[in-house]
């Protein structure tokens, strides 16, 4: 078992999510930075779909009842094992030791994988915590315990590419549609936006010049997907992330091709869009 000594502001169990249930009103959820979680699982010999932990900004501290191999990827953070600094992403944790993943100094979210995975009960085929609907396990709290599964037979991989994207300015590929004709769409490619502090796992709010509407009125609610760029009444784009609702009433200007860079982008980061065919 793992005992949560310090849960941090938002630490959740995440795997690769539960795709295929949007028709039931259930979003994919899952790790925001899926490449980082995949890397952590590979480092400890787990299969890619194994559940791990996603921390937010201030990390967490965990006590392990048994000796186990642990990997920490994603955001750069200070790592301490029983109050002693440790280096590298792969850590051999003795039984009874406390691993402390500290404040992120670069990026936002760290990913903790344990050999065997976090063995919580799946919901609709996934162990991911959905912060919008409440599906899956609750966010971690101090004193909570988590079971560790049996180690998988996958080989430990120690030489794989670093997948984390942390930059002061992001360039996101955007395919226009279906409601780009409701706006002067060219404005979105000419504007430098900044990420708002109000962003979370549901969506990334952007601040900048409001987009000009070319149509009045409102839409009935319609389906939205991961990466959809919805434009509320104030004209400020909102990019839907892993825990997004599956329908929305504001027009969707377009869809970005990869949300992973937003997982590690801090408030104030500059975002620009480039048009994709």
Strand-strand pairing, 270-275 and 169-176? parallel
Cα distance between residue 101 and residue 115, in whole Å? 17
252-266 pLDDT per residue, tens: 999 999 999 999 999
What pLDDT, on a 0 to 100 scale, did the predictor assign at position 22?
Answer: 92
Q: So what's the architecture of 169-275 in CATH?
A: Beta Barrel (2.40)
Cα distance between residue 52 and residue 116, in whole Å? 10
- The tokens for 36 are 């980082």
What pLDDT, on a 0 to 100 scale, did the predictor assign at position 168?
Answer: 82
Domain pair 2-146 / 169-275, same fold: no
At 79, which helix (H) or strand (E)? strand 68-81
219-262 pLDDT per residue, tens: 999 999 999 999 999 999 999 999 999 999 999 999 999 999 99
Quickly state the pLDDT bin for 152 (edges 50, 70, 90).
low
CATH of 2-146, one of 2.120.10, 1.20.950, 2.60.120, 3.30.1540: 2.60.120
The dihedral over CA atoms of 179, 185, 190, 191, expressed in degrees to the nearest 10, equals -50
- The tokens for 57 are 């900004």
Strand-strand pairing, 68-81 and 98-114? antiparallel
Cα distance between residue 94 and residue 174, in whole Å? 47
The residues near 216 (Cβ < 8 Å, ≥ 6 apart) are: none
- The tokens for 146 are 């988590």
Quickly state the pLDDT bin for 89 (edges 50, 70, 90).
very high
Domains of the chain: which residue ranges?
2-146, 169-275
Helices and strands (DSSP H and E) totals, the chain: 2, 18
Cβ contact 204:227 at 8 Å: no
* Residue 160, pLDDT above cutoff 60: no
Cβ contact 191:209 at 8 Å: yes
């Amino acid at each position: 078992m793992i005992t949560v000594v310090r849960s941090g502001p938002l630490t959740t169990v995440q795997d690769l999510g539960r795709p295929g249930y949007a028709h039931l009103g259930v979003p994919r959820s899952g790790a925001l930075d899926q490449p980082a979680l995949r890397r952590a699982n590979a480092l400890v010999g787990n299969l890619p779909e194994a559940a791990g932990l996603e921390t937010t900004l201030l990390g967490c501290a965990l006590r392990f009842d048994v000796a186990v191999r642990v990997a920490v990827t994603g955001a750069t953070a200070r790592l301490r094992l029983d109050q002693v600094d440790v280096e590298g992403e792969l850590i051999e944790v003795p039984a009874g030791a406390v691993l402390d993943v500290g404040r992120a100094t670069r990026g936002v979210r760290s990913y903790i994988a344990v050999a065997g995975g976090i063995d919580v009960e799946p919901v609709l085929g996934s162990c991911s915590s959905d912060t919008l609907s409440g599906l899956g396990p609750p966010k971690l709290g101090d004193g909570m315990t988590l079971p560790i599964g049996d180690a998988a037979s996958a080989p430990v991989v120690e030489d794989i590419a670093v997948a984390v994207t942390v930059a002061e300015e992001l360039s996101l590929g955007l395919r226009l549609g279906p409601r780009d004709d409701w706006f002067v769409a060219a404005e979105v490619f000419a504007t430098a936006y900044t990420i708002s502090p109000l962003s979370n796992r549901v969506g990334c709010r952007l601040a900048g010049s409001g987009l000009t509407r070319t149509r009045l009125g409102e839409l009935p609610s319609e389906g939205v997907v991961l990466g959809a760029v919805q434009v509320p009444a104030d004209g400020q784009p909102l990019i839907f992330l892993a825990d997004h609702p599956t329908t929305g009433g504001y027009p969707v200007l377009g869809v970005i091709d990869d949300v992973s860079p937003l997982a590690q982008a801090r408030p104030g980061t500059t975002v620009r869009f480039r048009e994709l065919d």
